[in-house]
Amino acid sequence: MRARFVFVAAVLGFTAVPLASHAITLQVNCDQPRAKLPTIGAALQALSGLIGNLGPNTIEVTGACKENITVDGISDLTLTAKNGASITDASGGTTQVILVAHSTNFGLKGFAIRGGGGAPFNVGVLCIWNSTCYLSSNDVQNPNGDAVAAILGATVALDHDVLEQSDIGLFVFSGARAEVVAATLRNNAIGANVSFGSYYGDQGTTIANNSQFGLSVNNHSSAASGGDSITGNGVGVLVNVQSEVGFSPLLGNTINGNGSGVSIGDQSWLTFLGPATVSGSGTQPDITCWGHFSGATGWGGVGTSNCPP
């Protein structure tokens, strides 16, 4: 009996150390097929089970990886690119390059991410089901659908990321949240689409040359924006279907040279709380109230408008 007790105590003692302080860093080299960990998937397998939640854990990646990655139920994990590492879709556009589900504090830093898709949400990088995903300095482009999405209560934070050449650069949907700092959303059909009870906040972001909308906030959603450059889009900012947008009282936005500057639809509202410029719109006025019970405040001196004063 005593031997059995000592064995159990030893096991418990062994597992208690990583719970308190131990973090793991794994090295992946996708350019070396005979490496100990030649894929990110192999590293995730090494972190499967209990060990995967004893972090924070880091996977440092070198080389050009061609794979599709699922992070499900793993907390406090960061993937970090070294020397310009990349991750390219291996599914032919039928699966997300990166899928994060049921996971908190997932980080993705410095990768070139190419391609991806997959029903029901055609997205390159998908954060879903109450996950929290922190992206920094990634370039995500050419998916079969959208570049990055936060869906079904998930939260995505972008910091100096570039999302381009997609249907929607950033899709925030169904009670999700996005916080964006100094990102670039360009050359998409829509730069950012925030819909169905979702929230979007940004600072110092460039939203440019998106063919349909720069920032679209719709269906009971809200956004707060400051210090942005929103230029060359079909419509710079669309607010529609019981939604609202507020522009920062401290960091002025420049909304210039869009087909339509600001477009405000049904039961929606836009508030200019501080300095801003809306100008050079192909369709006048620059700030258009067209929906039932739509309006804007603080637009005097910002741009031309048909909204009630």
- For the chain, the residue count is 309
Residue 253 lies in a domain: yes
Residue 204 lies in a domain: yes
- Has residue 67 got a pLDDT over 90? yes
- Has residue 160 got a pLDDT over 50? yes
- Other C-beta atoms lying within 10 Å of the C-beta of residue 78: 18
> Cis peptide leading into 120, omega within 30 of 0?
yes
DSSP 14-28: HHHHHHHT---EEEE
As a whole number, mean pLDDT of residues 244-250 equals 93
pLDDT band at residue 164, thresholds of 50, 70 and 90?
Answer: very high
Greatest Cα-to-Cα distance within the chain, rounded to the nearest angstrom: 86
Residue 232 lies in a domain: yes
The string of pLDDT tens digits covering residues 77-92 is: 999 999 999 999 999 9
Q: Domain with 118 in it: what CATH number?
A: 2.160.20.10
Residue 18 lies in a domain: no
Q: Which domain holds residue 90?
A: 64-297
β-bridge pairing 184-186 and 155-159: unpaired
pLDDT band at residue 48, thresholds of 50, 70 and 90?
Answer: confident
- Has residue 202 got a pLDDT over 70? yes
Number of domains in the chain: 1
Average pLDDT, the chain: 92
Residue 43 lies in a domain: no
pLDDT band at residue 52, thresholds of 50, 70 and 90?
Answer: low
Residue 8 lies in a domain: no
Residue 172 lies in a domain: yes
- Has residue 14 got a pLDDT over 80? no
As a whole number, mean pLDDT of residues 215-232 equals 98
Higher pLDDT, 279 or 121: 279
pLDDT on residue 5:
33
The string of pLDDT tens digits covering residues 19-40 is: 444 689 999 999 999 999 999 9
Residue 35 lies in a domain: no
Q: Closest by alpha carbon to 273, among 251, 289, 290, 291?
A: 251
Label residue 94 exposed, middle or buried (CB < 10 Å: 0-12, 13-18, 19+). middle
